[in-house]
Chains A and B, each alone.
Chain A
Amino acid sequence: MAQIPIVPTFVTSDTSIPKLAQLSYAVSFLSDYGVRPLWHLEPTATPSITLNTWTTLNYPTVIFDSDGVSDAAGALIVTQGIYAVEACLQITAAGSDGMAGSFRITAGANNPHLAPAATIRFGLRAKQTPSSGGDAALCLSDIVPVVCYPGDKIVVMYYVTATRTSDANTNSSFKNGRFNRSFMGHFISTGT
Protein backbone atom coordinates (compact mmCIF):
# COMPACT_ATOMS: atom_id res chain seq x y z
CA MET A 1 0.00 0.00 0.00
CA ALA A 2 1.37 3.37 -0.97
CA GLN A 3 1.44 5.87 1.86
CA ILE A 4 -0.17 9.21 1.08
CA PRO A 5 2.58 11.80 1.61
CA ILE A 6 2.40 14.18 4.54
CA VAL A 7 3.93 17.41 3.28
CA PRO A 8 5.84 19.17 6.07
CA THR A 9 6.03 22.85 6.94
CA PHE A 10 9.49 24.16 7.76
CA VAL A 11 10.31 26.82 10.34
CA THR A 12 13.35 29.06 10.72
CA SER A 13 16.50 27.12 11.68
CA ASP A 14 14.65 23.86 11.14
CA THR A 15 17.06 20.92 11.19
CA SER A 16 14.49 18.14 11.17
CA ILE A 17 15.70 15.20 9.10
CA PRO A 18 12.25 13.55 9.37
CA LYS A 19 10.72 16.62 7.70
CA LEU A 20 13.25 16.44 4.88
CA ALA A 21 12.46 12.75 4.55
CA GLN A 22 8.74 13.55 4.36
CA LEU A 23 9.44 16.09 1.62
CA SER A 24 11.63 13.61 -0.21
CA TYR A 25 8.94 10.94 -0.04
CA ALA A 26 6.33 13.39 -1.35
CA VAL A 27 8.53 14.07 -4.39
CA SER A 28 9.03 10.31 -4.89
CA PHE A 29 5.29 9.70 -4.71
CA LEU A 30 4.63 12.38 -7.32
CA SER A 31 7.42 11.51 -9.71
CA ASP A 32 8.08 7.77 -9.32
CA TYR A 33 5.47 5.40 -10.64
CA GLY A 34 7.11 2.66 -8.63
CA VAL A 35 5.71 4.45 -5.59
CA ARG A 36 2.56 6.08 -6.93
CA PRO A 37 -0.35 3.68 -7.61
CA LEU A 38 -0.43 2.69 -11.29
CA TRP A 39 -1.60 -0.42 -13.11
CA HIS A 40 -1.78 -1.95 -16.57
CA LEU A 41 -3.72 -5.21 -16.79
CA GLU A 42 -4.64 -7.45 -19.70
CA PRO A 43 -7.01 -10.37 -20.25
CA THR A 44 -5.68 -13.75 -21.31
CA ALA A 45 -8.81 -15.66 -22.22
CA THR A 46 -11.05 -15.24 -25.24
CA PRO A 47 -14.37 -14.81 -23.50
CA SER A 48 -17.66 -14.83 -25.27
CA ILE A 49 -19.53 -11.59 -24.81
CA THR A 50 -23.14 -12.53 -24.24
CA LEU A 51 -25.82 -11.07 -26.46
CA ASN A 52 -27.49 -7.95 -25.04
CA THR A 53 -26.00 -8.38 -21.56
CA TRP A 54 -23.48 -6.16 -19.83
CA THR A 55 -20.55 -8.55 -19.25
CA THR A 56 -17.56 -8.00 -16.97
CA LEU A 57 -14.25 -8.91 -18.55
CA ASN A 58 -11.49 -10.32 -16.33
CA TYR A 59 -7.95 -8.94 -16.49
CA PRO A 60 -5.68 -11.53 -14.84
CA THR A 61 -2.42 -10.65 -16.60
CA VAL A 62 -0.38 -8.01 -14.80
CA ILE A 63 1.89 -5.94 -17.02
CA PHE A 64 2.67 -3.64 -14.12
CA ASP A 65 0.94 -2.94 -10.84
CA SER A 66 2.81 -0.72 -8.40
CA ASP A 67 0.20 -0.91 -5.64
CA GLY A 68 -1.00 -4.51 -5.80
CA VAL A 69 -4.52 -3.71 -7.02
CA SER A 70 -4.94 -6.65 -9.39
CA ASP A 71 -7.38 -9.30 -8.18
CA ALA A 72 -7.45 -11.14 -11.53
CA ALA A 73 -10.80 -9.60 -12.44
CA GLY A 74 -10.25 -5.86 -12.10
CA ALA A 75 -8.59 -3.35 -9.80
CA LEU A 76 -9.20 -3.60 -6.06
CA ILE A 77 -8.17 -0.19 -4.72
CA VAL A 78 -5.48 -0.24 -2.03
CA THR A 79 -4.63 3.46 -1.58
CA GLN A 80 -7.29 6.12 -1.04
CA GLY A 81 -7.47 8.79 -3.73
CA ILE A 82 -8.88 10.03 -7.01
CA TYR A 83 -8.05 7.79 -9.97
CA ALA A 84 -8.11 8.04 -13.75
CA VAL A 85 -8.82 4.87 -15.72
CA GLU A 86 -8.57 3.83 -19.35
CA ALA A 87 -9.37 0.67 -21.29
CA CYS A 88 -9.14 -0.71 -24.81
CA LEU A 89 -12.00 -3.08 -25.70
CA GLN A 90 -12.13 -5.34 -28.71
CA ILE A 91 -14.53 -7.83 -30.28
CA THR A 92 -13.78 -10.12 -33.18
CA ALA A 93 -15.30 -10.07 -36.63
CA ALA A 94 -18.09 -7.69 -35.93
CA GLY A 95 -20.83 -6.90 -38.41
CA SER A 96 -23.10 -3.89 -37.89
CA ASP A 97 -23.57 -4.66 -34.20
CA GLY A 98 -24.13 -2.32 -31.32
CA MET A 99 -21.05 -2.29 -29.11
CA ALA A 100 -20.60 -0.49 -25.80
CA GLY A 101 -18.17 -0.45 -22.92
CA SER A 102 -18.02 1.21 -19.53
CA PHE A 103 -16.34 1.06 -16.17
CA ARG A 104 -18.09 0.14 -12.94
CA ILE A 105 -17.00 0.85 -9.39
CA THR A 106 -18.39 -1.28 -6.58
CA ALA A 107 -17.96 0.16 -3.12
CA GLY A 108 -16.14 -1.80 -0.49
CA ALA A 109 -16.62 -1.44 3.23
CA ASN A 110 -14.47 1.68 3.66
CA ASN A 111 -16.00 4.24 1.31
CA PRO A 112 -17.96 6.83 3.31
CA HIS A 113 -19.67 8.16 0.19
CA LEU A 114 -21.26 4.88 -0.91
CA ALA A 115 -23.05 2.02 0.82
CA PRO A 116 -21.15 -1.27 0.71
CA ALA A 117 -21.75 -3.03 -2.63
CA ALA A 118 -23.25 0.12 -4.17
CA THR A 119 -22.24 0.54 -7.81
CA ILE A 120 -21.66 3.44 -10.20
CA ARG A 121 -21.23 3.06 -13.93
CA PHE A 122 -19.03 5.58 -15.73
CA GLY A 123 -16.81 6.14 -18.77
CA LEU A 124 -19.34 4.97 -21.36
CA ARG A 125 -18.57 4.64 -25.06
CA ALA A 126 -21.01 3.08 -27.54
CA LYS A 127 -21.21 2.74 -31.31
CA GLN A 128 -22.18 0.60 -34.26
CA THR A 129 -19.42 -1.71 -35.44
CA PRO A 130 -18.30 -1.95 -39.08
CA SER A 131 -20.28 -4.12 -41.46
CA SER A 132 -17.22 -5.51 -43.21
CA GLY A 133 -16.40 -8.30 -40.77
CA GLY A 134 -13.33 -6.64 -39.32
CA ASP A 135 -12.72 -6.45 -35.59
CA ALA A 136 -14.10 -3.51 -33.65
CA ALA A 137 -12.65 -1.59 -30.75
CA LEU A 138 -13.59 1.08 -28.24
CA CYS A 139 -11.30 3.15 -26.04
CA LEU A 140 -12.62 4.34 -22.69
CA SER A 141 -11.13 7.13 -20.57
CA ASP A 142 -12.62 8.75 -17.49
CA ILE A 143 -11.95 9.89 -13.94
CA VAL A 144 -13.64 7.69 -11.34
CA PRO A 145 -16.55 9.87 -10.19
CA VAL A 146 -15.98 9.32 -6.47
CA VAL A 147 -12.93 9.27 -4.25
CA CYS A 148 -11.79 5.66 -4.10
CA TYR A 149 -11.12 3.93 -0.79
CA PRO A 150 -9.34 0.65 0.00
CA GLY A 151 -11.63 -2.22 -0.96
CA ASP A 152 -13.46 -0.41 -3.76
CA LYS A 153 -13.36 -2.42 -6.98
CA ILE A 154 -13.21 -1.13 -10.54
CA VAL A 155 -14.01 -3.38 -13.50
CA VAL A 156 -14.47 -3.04 -17.25
CA MET A 157 -17.74 -4.09 -18.87
CA TYR A 158 -18.81 -4.93 -22.44
CA TYR A 159 -22.16 -4.89 -24.19
CA VAL A 160 -22.81 -6.17 -27.71
CA THR A 161 -25.99 -6.75 -29.65
CA ALA A 162 -24.68 -10.00 -31.17
CA THR A 163 -22.75 -12.76 -29.44
CA ARG A 164 -19.06 -12.11 -30.02
CA THR A 165 -15.69 -13.01 -28.54
CA SER A 166 -12.77 -10.87 -27.48
CA ASP A 167 -9.33 -12.22 -28.36
CA ALA A 168 -5.72 -11.28 -27.87
CA ASN A 169 -3.54 -9.48 -30.34
CA THR A 170 -2.43 -12.08 -32.91
CA ASN A 171 -1.62 -9.81 -35.85
CA SER A 172 -3.70 -12.18 -37.94
CA SER A 173 -4.67 -9.73 -40.66
CA PHE A 174 -4.94 -6.06 -41.35
CA LYS A 175 -8.41 -5.97 -39.85
CA ASN A 176 -8.42 -8.83 -37.35
CA GLY A 177 -6.43 -9.57 -34.20
CA ARG A 178 -4.85 -6.14 -34.15
CA PHE A 179 -5.80 -4.97 -30.72
CA ASN A 180 -3.95 -5.10 -27.44
CA ARG A 181 -6.80 -5.20 -24.93
CA SER A 182 -5.90 -3.48 -21.70
CA PHE A 183 -7.20 -1.87 -18.51
CA MET A 184 -5.06 0.92 -17.05
CA GLY A 185 -5.42 3.23 -14.10
CA HIS A 186 -3.41 5.62 -11.99
CA PHE A 187 -3.68 7.80 -8.91
CA ILE A 188 -4.13 11.46 -9.88
CA SER A 189 -4.98 13.25 -6.64
CA THR A 190 -5.57 12.92 -2.97
CA GLY A 191 -9.19 13.12 -1.88
CA THR A 192 -11.55 12.45 0.98
Chain B
Amino acid sequence: MTIPVIPDLNAGQIAQVADLNAIASACTFLLAKPLARVHDAVGGQNPAVFTAGNPPATNIAFATVDLDTDGMSGTSTKLTIHTPGWYKVRYGVNVSTAGAANHINTGVFSTTGANNPLGAGVVAGPFLPSWTLAVLPEGCAGGSGIFPFYLYNLDFLQIRAGTETAVDTTGVTDAGSFFCLEFVST
Protein backbone atom coordinates (compact mmCIF):
# COMPACT_ATOMS: atom_id res chain seq x y z
CA MET B 1 0.00 0.00 0.00
CA THR B 2 1.04 3.62 -0.47
CA ILE B 3 1.80 5.52 2.71
CA PRO B 4 -0.50 8.57 2.89
CA VAL B 5 1.02 12.05 2.69
CA ILE B 6 -0.82 14.40 5.03
CA PRO B 7 -0.91 17.97 3.65
CA ASP B 8 0.08 21.03 5.65
CA LEU B 9 -2.67 23.69 5.57
CA ASN B 10 -1.48 27.14 6.60
CA ALA B 11 -3.32 30.30 7.66
CA GLY B 12 -4.83 32.14 4.72
CA GLN B 13 -4.47 29.17 2.42
CA ILE B 14 -7.42 28.04 0.35
CA ALA B 15 -7.64 24.30 0.64
CA GLN B 16 -7.19 22.70 -2.75
CA VAL B 17 -9.01 19.63 -3.95
CA ALA B 18 -5.72 17.72 -3.79
CA ASP B 19 -5.38 18.60 -0.10
CA LEU B 20 -8.83 17.32 0.76
CA ASN B 21 -8.35 14.16 -1.26
CA ALA B 22 -5.01 13.57 0.44
CA ILE B 23 -6.74 13.70 3.84
CA ALA B 24 -9.45 11.41 2.50
CA SER B 25 -6.80 8.97 1.23
CA ALA B 26 -5.22 8.90 4.67
CA CYS B 27 -8.57 7.92 6.16
CA THR B 28 -9.06 5.21 3.53
CA PHE B 29 -5.59 3.83 4.30
CA LEU B 30 -6.26 3.68 8.03
CA LEU B 31 -9.68 2.11 7.58
CA ALA B 32 -8.19 -0.76 5.57
CA LYS B 33 -4.60 -0.82 6.75
CA PRO B 34 -2.07 -3.60 6.18
CA LEU B 35 -2.67 -6.63 8.35
CA ALA B 36 -2.36 -10.38 8.05
CA ARG B 37 -3.27 -13.43 10.07
CA VAL B 38 -2.08 -16.92 9.17
CA HIS B 39 -2.26 -20.20 11.05
CA ASP B 40 -1.16 -23.83 10.95
CA ALA B 41 -4.17 -26.03 10.30
CA VAL B 42 -2.20 -29.25 9.81
CA GLY B 43 0.27 -29.60 12.68
CA GLY B 44 2.90 -32.31 12.77
CA GLN B 45 5.85 -29.96 12.51
CA ASN B 46 8.82 -30.97 14.63
CA PRO B 47 10.73 -28.01 16.04
CA ALA B 48 14.38 -28.89 16.52
CA VAL B 49 15.65 -29.70 19.99
CA PHE B 50 17.25 -26.56 21.31
CA THR B 51 20.66 -26.49 22.88
CA ALA B 52 21.91 -24.25 25.64
CA GLY B 53 23.14 -20.91 24.38
CA ASN B 54 21.31 -21.10 21.07
CA PRO B 55 18.02 -19.46 20.12
CA PRO B 56 15.11 -21.45 18.72
CA ALA B 57 16.02 -22.52 15.19
CA THR B 58 13.01 -24.00 13.40
CA ASN B 59 10.85 -21.74 11.28
CA ILE B 60 7.22 -22.59 11.92
CA ALA B 61 5.00 -22.81 8.82
CA PHE B 62 1.59 -21.18 8.78
CA ALA B 63 0.06 -22.35 5.52
CA THR B 64 -3.53 -21.24 6.05
CA VAL B 65 -4.23 -17.57 5.34
CA ASP B 66 -7.11 -16.13 7.34
CA LEU B 67 -6.68 -12.44 6.56
CA ASP B 68 -4.18 -10.59 4.39
CA THR B 69 -4.85 -7.07 3.16
CA ASP B 70 -1.34 -6.40 1.80
CA GLY B 71 0.00 -9.59 0.20
CA MET B 72 2.25 -10.41 3.16
CA SER B 73 1.62 -14.16 3.24
CA GLY B 74 3.07 -15.58 0.01
CA THR B 75 5.40 -18.01 1.80
CA SER B 76 4.14 -20.14 4.68
CA THR B 77 7.17 -19.62 6.92
CA LYS B 78 7.20 -15.83 6.82
CA LEU B 79 5.19 -12.63 6.55
CA THR B 80 6.76 -10.10 4.20
CA ILE B 81 6.35 -6.36 4.54
CA HIS B 82 4.99 -4.47 1.54
CA THR B 83 4.16 -1.22 3.31
CA PRO B 84 6.98 0.22 5.44
CA GLY B 85 6.15 1.12 9.01
CA TRP B 86 5.87 0.00 12.60
CA TYR B 87 3.98 -3.25 13.12
CA LYS B 88 2.39 -5.12 15.99
CA VAL B 89 3.12 -8.84 16.13
CA ARG B 90 0.95 -11.50 17.74
CA TYR B 91 1.85 -15.19 17.63
CA GLY B 92 1.50 -18.54 19.34
CA VAL B 93 3.19 -21.89 18.75
CA ASN B 94 1.07 -24.82 19.86
CA VAL B 95 2.99 -27.99 20.71
CA SER B 96 1.45 -31.34 21.53
CA THR B 97 3.25 -33.19 24.25
CA ALA B 98 3.94 -36.85 23.66
CA GLY B 99 3.99 -37.89 27.28
CA ALA B 100 6.01 -36.02 29.84
CA ALA B 101 6.02 -32.25 30.17
CA ASN B 102 8.41 -30.55 27.80
CA HIS B 103 9.77 -27.10 27.27
CA ILE B 104 8.95 -24.87 24.28
CA ASN B 105 11.07 -21.88 23.35
CA THR B 106 9.88 -19.39 20.73
CA GLY B 107 10.71 -15.99 19.29
CA VAL B 108 10.20 -13.60 16.38
CA PHE B 109 13.09 -13.15 13.93
CA SER B 110 13.45 -10.45 11.27
CA THR B 111 15.40 -10.57 8.02
CA THR B 112 16.07 -7.37 6.12
CA GLY B 113 15.14 -6.97 2.47
CA ALA B 114 16.75 -4.96 -0.31
CA ASN B 115 15.08 -1.70 0.74
CA ASN B 116 16.36 -1.72 4.31
CA PRO B 117 19.25 0.72 4.91
CA LEU B 118 21.14 -2.17 6.54
CA GLY B 119 21.13 -4.06 3.24
CA ALA B 120 19.47 -7.38 2.52
CA GLY B 121 19.89 -10.54 4.56
CA VAL B 122 20.55 -9.14 8.04
CA VAL B 123 18.89 -11.46 10.56
CA ALA B 124 17.95 -10.34 14.07
CA GLY B 125 16.14 -12.05 16.91
CA PRO B 126 14.65 -13.50 18.95
CA PHE B 127 12.22 -10.70 19.81
CA LEU B 128 9.04 -11.09 21.87
CA PRO B 129 10.48 -14.39 23.10
CA SER B 130 8.46 -16.88 25.07
CA TRP B 131 9.06 -20.03 27.02
CA THR B 132 6.49 -22.47 28.24
CA LEU B 133 6.59 -25.75 30.09
CA ALA B 134 4.02 -27.77 28.22
CA VAL B 135 2.09 -30.40 30.10
CA LEU B 136 -0.52 -32.78 28.78
CA PRO B 137 -2.42 -32.27 26.61
CA GLU B 138 -0.49 -29.36 25.10
CA GLY B 139 1.50 -26.20 25.42
CA CYS B 140 1.39 -22.95 23.50
CA ALA B 141 4.09 -20.31 23.80
CA GLY B 142 3.74 -16.91 22.18
CA GLY B 143 3.75 -13.19 22.59
CA SER B 144 2.44 -9.88 21.36
CA GLY B 145 3.83 -6.40 21.04
CA ILE B 146 5.20 -3.75 18.72
CA PHE B 147 8.16 -5.12 16.78
CA PRO B 148 11.23 -3.15 17.90
CA PHE B 149 12.45 -2.17 14.41
CA TYR B 150 10.90 -0.02 11.72
CA LEU B 151 10.22 -2.46 8.91
CA TYR B 152 10.96 -1.67 5.26
CA ASN B 153 9.44 -3.00 2.08
CA LEU B 154 10.54 -6.68 1.62
CA ASP B 155 11.77 -7.14 5.19
CA PHE B 156 10.20 -10.30 6.55
CA LEU B 157 9.39 -11.78 9.95
CA GLN B 158 9.42 -15.42 11.00
CA ILE B 159 8.40 -17.36 14.08
CA ARG B 160 11.01 -19.86 15.26
CA ALA B 161 10.62 -22.55 17.88
CA GLY B 162 12.69 -25.11 19.69
CA THR B 163 11.63 -27.89 22.05
CA GLU B 164 13.19 -29.93 24.80
CA THR B 165 12.81 -33.32 23.18
CA ALA B 166 12.53 -34.61 19.64
CA VAL B 167 9.07 -36.08 20.25
CA ASP B 168 7.21 -32.76 20.39
CA THR B 169 5.15 -31.84 17.35
CA THR B 170 3.00 -28.86 16.61
CA GLY B 171 -0.66 -29.33 17.43
CA VAL B 172 -3.94 -28.10 16.04
CA THR B 173 -6.60 -29.57 18.32
CA ASP B 174 -7.48 -26.45 20.28
CA ALA B 175 -6.70 -23.67 17.78
CA GLY B 176 -3.16 -24.36 16.67
CA SER B 177 -0.29 -22.03 15.97
CA PHE B 178 -0.90 -18.56 14.56
CA PHE B 179 1.00 -15.48 13.42
CA CYS B 180 -0.38 -11.95 12.90
CA LEU B 181 1.03 -8.63 11.72
CA GLU B 182 -0.82 -5.33 12.02
CA PHE B 183 0.43 -1.97 10.71
CA VAL B 184 0.30 0.53 13.57
CA SER B 185 2.20 3.61 12.37
CA THR B 186 4.35 5.22 9.71
Q: Is the CB of A100 within 8 A of B31?
A: no
From known contacts A14-B17, A30-B27, A122-B178, infer whether A141 and B144 are also in contact, taking CB-CB under 8 Å.
Answer: yes
Q: Is the CB of B178 within 8 A of A189?
A: no
Give the chain A neighbours of B67 by CB distance below 8 A. Answer: 82, 143, 145-147, 191
How far, in Å, is B26 (CB) from chain A's closest CB? 9
Q: Is the CB of B27 within 8 A of A190?
A: no
How far, in Å, is B126 (CB) from chain A's closest CB? 17
From known contacts A11-B17, A143-B182, infer whether A124 and B176 are also in contact, taking CB-CB under 8 Å.
Answer: yes
Give the chain B neighbours of A122 by CB distance below 8 A. Answer: 39, 175, 178
Give the chain B neighbours of A102 by CB distance below 8 A. Answer: 174-175
Q: Is the CB of A161 within 8 A of B135?
A: yes
Q: Is the CB of A189 within 8 A of B175?
A: no
**B31's contact among A5, A8, A23, by CB below 8 Å, is which?**
A5
Q: CA separation between A142 and B32, bound complex, in Å?
A: 18
Q: Is the CB of A189 within 8 A of B33?
A: yes
Binds B, one of A63-71, A125-133, A164-172: A125-133
**B27's contact among A7, A127, A141, by CB below 8 Å, is which?**
A7
Q: Is the CB of B174 within 8 A of A124?
A: yes
How far, in Å, is A14 (CB) from chain B's closest CB? 6
Q: Is the CB of B30 within 8 A of A124?
A: no
Q: Is the CB of B137 within 8 A of A98?
A: yes
- Give the A-B pair count, Cβ closer than 8 A: 128
Give the chain B neighbours of A11 by CB distance below 8 A. Answer: 17
Flag whether B142 is at the interface (Cβ < 8 A). Answer: yes
Give the chain A neighbours of B30 by CB distance below 8 A. Answer: 30
Instruction: Tell me the nearest residue of chain B to A124, going by C-beta.
Output: B175
Q: CA separation between A71 and B139, bound complex, in Å?
A: 31
Flag whether A188 is at the interface (Cβ < 8 A). Answer: yes
- Restricting to A4-33, which residues have a CB under 8 Å from any CB of B? 4-5, 7-14, 23, 26-27, 29-30
Q: Is the CB of A123 within 8 A of B134?
A: no
- Restricting to B59-89, which residues have a CB under 8 Å from any CB of A? 66-67, 69
Q: CA separation between A188 and B136, bound complex, in Å?
A: 35
Q: CA separation between A121 and B20, bound complex, in Å?
A: 42
Q: Is the CB of A146 within 8 A of B27?
A: no
- Restricting to B67-121, which residues have a CB under 8 Å from any CB of A? 67, 69, 90, 92, 94, 101
Q: Is the CB of B27 within 8 A of A126?
A: no
A-B contact list, 16 entries, CB within 8 Å: A7-B27, A10-B21, A11-B17, A13-B17, A26-B24, A30-B30, A125-B92, A125-B141, A126-B140, A127-B135, A139-B144, A142-B90, A142-B92, A143-B66, A145-B67, A189-B35
Residues of A within 8 A of B (CB): 4-5, 7-14, 23, 26-27, 29-30, 54, 82, 84, 86, 96-98, 100, 102, 121-128, 139, 141-143, 145-147, 159, 161, 188-191
Q: Which 6 A-B pairs have the closest CB atoms?
A: A141-B144, A145-B66, A124-B175, A128-B135, A26-B27, A121-B175
